[in-house]
Every structure is written in C-alpha cells, then in structure tokens.
A and B are shown apart, each in its own frame.
Chain A
Amino acid sequence: METGKQSNRVIVTVLGKDQIGIIAWVAGRLAEYNANILDISQTIVREFFTMIMIVDLSPATIEVAELAKLLAEEGQERRLQVNVQHEDVFAYMHRI
C-alpha cells in the first residue's frame, strides 16, 4: 500500500442531527487554519446526517491531533460527532 504514504490528507466526518450551518462552521474553522477542502459529500446514512470531507492539511497551520480535538469539542456543543482521521485508515481497512 503505497498510496497516501507521504500524504497529509484527512477525512473529516460529521454525524448527527441535521442543522443549519454545519458546513459553514467546519469550513470556517478549516479556513482559519489554512486547511484545504478537496471534496465534500453530504448524505443521510442510517437516519444520520453525515458529512464527509476530504481535507489536505499540507498547507495547514494545525496538526491533525489538534484539529481532531478542536472539532470534536465544538461538535459536542452542537450535538454532533466529529472525527478527523488520516485517510490511510480507510484505505487500509477497505481497500486491498
């Protein structure tokens, strides 16, 4: 598995009840730290609002761990579960 070896791309996942301003909030935070959103998808899976973003942290001024903590905490206030994980997790688990 060579893909993403040097990459700094993370998957941001937001789960919860649909509400106004979710994307604005996440995108705003990412812009603040100079993180580049590469793609967004938004869907309803198993009755959950699900937003998945692929974000490039190469130009960013924040580390993945810090970003994960920040978004998870702010997400909690909005009753949203936010996960930030390096894309390799999904590549390894679901792709051969």
Chain B
Amino acid sequence: MKITFAPEEILQTIEMVENENLDIRTITMGINLLDCVDEISRMEEKIYAKITRYAGRLVEVGEQLAARYGIPIINKRVAVTPVAMLGSRLGTADLVRIARTLDKAAKAVGINFIGGYSALVHKGFTDSDRMLIDSIPEALAATEFVCSSVNIGSTKSGINMDAVLKMGEVILESAKLTAAADGIAAAKLVVFCNAPEDNPFMAGAFHGPGEPECVINVGVSGPGVVANVVRRNPGADLGELANLIKRTAFKITRMGELIGRAASRELNVPFGIVDLSLAPTPAIGDSVAEILENMGLERCGTHGTTAALALLNDAVKKGGAMASSHVGGLSGAFIPVSEDSGMVRAVESGALSLDKLEAMTCVCSVGLDMIALPGDVGAETIAAIIADEAAIGMVNKKTTAVRVIPAIGKKAGERVEFGGLLGGATVMDVHPFSAADFVRRGGRIPAPITSLAN
C-alpha cells in the first residue's frame, strides 16, 4: 500500500481545516411528520417519538464522522414537514404546543435548531396556514430551537401580497415579543419566494412535501478557503480567478459529499443533496465580504460589488456542481449581515446599504438576511421590503428570502447582539417614504410571463 497522495495535497487539506475555517456547516435530517396527524395530545406524543427515534443518533454520528475525517461538523439539525400541513383542526394554542414539542424533541436529541414551523402560502392560505402564521410570534418566543419559514411567492404562482403584509406584521410582533433579547425570534423566521424543499440551512429548512420519509442533506461552508485563494492570487485576471474559485469550491463540496454519504450510510437514511453554499460565520476570516474585498474592492458594498459577487457565486456553483452527485437546497453564496464580520464592517463604515444588499441578492443566494432594522419600522415597510425581494426571486426564477430583525427601541447605527453563529450587527436605515398604500392593496402579483414554460 503506497501513499497515493502528494504531501502538498495532504497539507492543503489540513491547512483548509486548521487555518481557513473549512467545515461542514450542517448535517440536516429531514423527517416527514404527515403520519403524526391526530388529536393534539396524541399528536404531540407521536411527533416527539418520531423525531427522537429518527434523529436519536444524529448528533452522535455527526461527532463520529467529524473525528474519523478530521473535518469539523458544526451543526446537526432536523427539518420537519411544514407544520401547517399537519391539519386544520389545530388552533393557534395547539400549534404553539406543537412548537414546544418540536423544541423538546430538539433538546432531547441534542440538535441546535429544528426547522419546519412553516407554511407554504404562495398562492393562498388554507385555514391551517392562517392559524400557523398567527401563532408564529408566540411559538418562536416560547421556544429556543424552533425555526419558522413561510413561502409567500413563487415564479409559477406569483406573489401572495396578503401573505406579504401579514408577514410584515408577524416579523414585527416576533421581534417585539423578544425585545429583551434584541428580537431573537425574528432571527429564527424567514420569508421565502421559491423556497427549496431540501434546504439544510436554518432558519429556512423544512422537509418539503415532495421529499421522502427521511433524508440527510448536507450544507458545506468555506468562505475562508476561497478568500485565501483569492488573496494569494492578486495578479490573476477575472477569468483565471473564476477558475481558481471553481477548483476550490470543488474541493469544499467534495467534503460535503463524503460526509453526506457517510452519514447516510451510518444512519441508514437516504442521502438527499449537498447544498454548496458559501456560508459565512462571525469568525474572522470566514467572511464572504472578505472574498469580495480580496478581489479588489476597498469595501464590500462599493461599486463593483454586485459584479464581483456574480463571479463568485457562479464559480462556486460550477465547481460545486461537479463535485456532488446531487446538488440542491440554496446553493450559492450567502450574504447575511450579522453572521459575516466583513459585512458588519462594511455597514459600519457606510459602504454597504440595504439597497446595495438588495441588488446583490439578484446575483447570489439567498436574500436580505440577518439585517437589523430600526425599531420604529412599520409592518408595511417590512412588507414592502419582502415584496421587493420576492419580486427579484419570482422574475429571476431563484430563491430569495428576507430575514430582518426589527431592533425594538433602537435606531440606525446602534448595535444588536444575537450571539453564537447569528452574530451581531449595526442597525441599518430604511427609506423614510411610505409604501403602505401599495402593500395594503393586497391580492396577488401575477406570475411573470416567463413562468409559462410549458
């Protein structure tokens, strides 16, 4: 048995992990809960039993794999069937009980988030959807690990503007209920257009209706690795640079593929997809903004940022797609503000505005993410922000999302802290002019002509 790897290759892998924050961001197990529908207390029992049975070994297996391969696996998580699909007999109080059950199950299996307190209302509400959405603020405030998402639009169906306005109110209410913790409940709530059914990343993960009984999806990371590649090649033209990023993305994604397959084997659960997103963390050097700055921008957010991000996002996809048998989820560069130290710095220095972030979301995954808004922001303004973002997703046939946190009692320029992977950020300003009459018109924005593909 000869060593078949060059020392340089082995050292490169080790350096990626030791110095460049290469890790597997999440192994997320999707679990179908449709068979748990029953009267409320039976349903609580069934849900708890099913999650703890399926995901009982998830954390243990994650830790084993991290040790075997020497690659950190940061998060182990569970995504469940959108809870709104579990039946219209549940009132809001019952739904909050379900949220508490999910929370309890998450705690029992040792995961750090459970997603799927969700509703898909892109074309309209069922009674159950309405109940669920009404219960979101209380459910998120009453739980620690539960994440919620609502899909309010799609390329095929247009944008449900009644849902958009409602979500503006729900986000505001969620922040108010957890004002003492800087509105943390709103950080666990995502509003989507074109939500993927197999996204492993929180807070938007849910187990879509087209998914199997149980599935393992993996989200990779690695902005630090890409940032270093870009930094080390100041002389490369943009074509060469794209190629270097592609190669790096390939290697990062291969780790996701390896871990996903291994987890699937160990847990005896089918392997779904690798989500090849570049997901930053608040750690220094693990920043997407830093990649863009290393490309030659003085600060992320200045002119040229959208072009640089477009190059990065495309190269990551091209490299990643070759590395995995099944790519899915969100798969693109994330640009959350509070979770990315470079983005926070760009906001603080006045280089990055909400409008520029919106423009950036046209060319990358996912949307306006982890952005703190002034505490006196109105529900209509949040709704208008959601509508803009959803329109970008709808027209461009891509996933867009909004996860904004109204910082109750704070103004633009002040800091909020969410802690852990969620980080902290400076409150960003919104436009002072009202969009209330527009968003209050309600109804649906029709699907674009490009959706007629048949």
Q: How far is the CA of A76 from the CA of B258 in the complex (A)?
A: 29
Q: Is the CB of A83 within 8 A of B251?
A: no
The interface bits of chain A over 15-49 (1 if a CB of B lies within 8 angstroms of the residue's CB, else 0) are: 10000000000000000000000110101011010
Q: How far is the CA of A39 from the CA of B254 in the complex (A)?
A: 25
Q: Is A89 an interface residue (CB 8 A)?
A: yes
B321 CB to nearest A CB, Å: 13
Q: Is the CB of A94 within 8 A of B251?
A: yes
On whether A50 and B254 interact (CB within 8 A), knowing A68-B67, A85-B69, A89-B69, the answer reads: no
A71 CB to nearest B CB, Å: 12
Q: Is the CB of B11 within 8 A of A92?
A: no
Q: Is the CB of B7 within 8 A of A88?
A: no
Interface residues in B102-116 by Cβ distance below 8 A to A read: none
Residues of B within 8 A of A41 (CB): 3, 7
Residues of B within 8 A of A15 (CB): 11, 14
Residues of A within 8 A of B10 (CB): 11, 13, 52, 90
B261 CB to nearest A CB, Å: 8
Q: How far is the CA of A88 from the CA of B6 in the complex (A)?
A: 14
Q: Is the CB of B2 within 8 A of A86?
A: no
Q: Which of the listed residues B11, B14, B70, B262 has the most CB atoms from chain A within 10 Å of its own CB?
A: B70
**In which size bucket is the chain B interface?**
20 to 34
Q: Is the CB of B1 within 8 A of A90?
A: no
Q: Is A62 an interface residue (CB 8 A)?
A: no
Q: Which of the listed residues A41, A85, A93 has the most CB atoms from chain B within 10 Å of its own CB?
A: A93
Residues of B within 8 A of A83 (CB): 14, 70
Q: Is B257 an interface residue (CB 8 A)?
A: yes
Residues of A within 8 A of B13 (CB): 85, 89-90, 93-94
Residues of B within 8 A of A60 (CB): none
Q: How far is the CA of A50 from the CA of B7 in the complex (A)?
A: 8
A49 CB to nearest B CB, Å: 11
Q: How far is the CA of A46 from the CA of B254 in the complex (A)?
A: 25
Q: Is B230 an interface residue (CB 8 A)?
A: no
On whether A39 and B67 interact (CB within 8 A), knowing A45-B8, A50-B11, A89-B13, the answer reads: no
Residues of A within 8 A of B8 (CB): 45
Q: Is the CB of B3 within 8 A of A45?
A: no
Residues of B within 8 A of A45 (CB): 7-8, 11
Q: Is the CB of A89 within 8 A of B1?
A: no
Q: Which residue of A lies closest to B257 (CB)?
A: A92
Residues of B within 8 A of A56 (CB): 1
Q: How far is the CA of A64 from the CA of B449 in the complex (A)?
A: 57
Q: Is A84 an interface residue (CB 8 A)?
A: yes
A5 CB to nearest B CB, Å: 9
Q: Is B68 an interface residue (CB 8 A)?
A: yes
Q: Is B5 an interface residue (CB 8 A)?
A: yes
B51 CB to nearest A CB, Å: 26
Residues of B within 8 A of A54 (CB): 1, 3
Q: Is the CB of B255 within 8 A of A92?
A: yes
Q: Which residue of B lies closest to A40 (CB)?
A: B3
Q: Which residue of A lies closest to B1 (CB)?
A: A38
A12 CB to nearest B CB, Å: 10
Q: Which residue of A lies closest to B325 (CB)?
A: A1
Residues of B within 8 A of A65 (CB): 64, 67-68
Q: How far is the CA of A91 from the CA of B71 in the complex (A)?
A: 14
Partner of B254, one of A43, A64, A86, A93: A93
The interface bits of chain B over 53-87 (1 if a CB of A lies within 8 angstroms of the residue's CB, else 0) are: 00000000000100111110000000000000000
Q: How far is the CA of A68 from the CA of B70 in the complex (A)?
A: 9
Residues of A within 8 A of B437 (CB): none
Q: Which residue of A lies closest to B252 (CB)?
A: A93
Partner of A94, one of B2, B9, B67, B69: B9
Q: How far is the CA of A50 from the CA of B254 in the complex (A)?
A: 25
Residues of B within 8 A of A52 (CB): 3, 5, 7, 10
Q: Which residue of B lies closest to A88 (CB)?
A: B258
Q: How far is the CA of A38 from the CA of B6 in the complex (A)?
A: 16
Residues of A within 8 A of B14 (CB): 13, 15, 81, 83
* Selected A-B contacts with CB under 8 Å, 19 pairs: A15-B11, A15-B14, A43-B7, A45-B8, A48-B11, A50-B11, A52-B10, A54-B1, A63-B67, A68-B67, A86-B69, A88-B262, A90-B5, A90-B13, A91-B5, A92-B254, A92-B258, A93-B251, A94-B6
Starting from the known contacts A11-B10, A85-B70, 16 additional A-B residue pairs (CB-CB under 8 Å) come to A39-B2, A45-B8, A45-B11, A50-B7, A52-B10, A54-B3, A65-B64, A68-B67, A85-B13, A85-B68, A85-B71, A90-B9, A93-B13, A93-B251, A93-B254, A94-B5
A-B pairs, top 7 by smallest CB distance, nearest first, are A65-B67, A85-B70, A38-B1, A92-B258, A92-B254, A94-B9, A90-B5
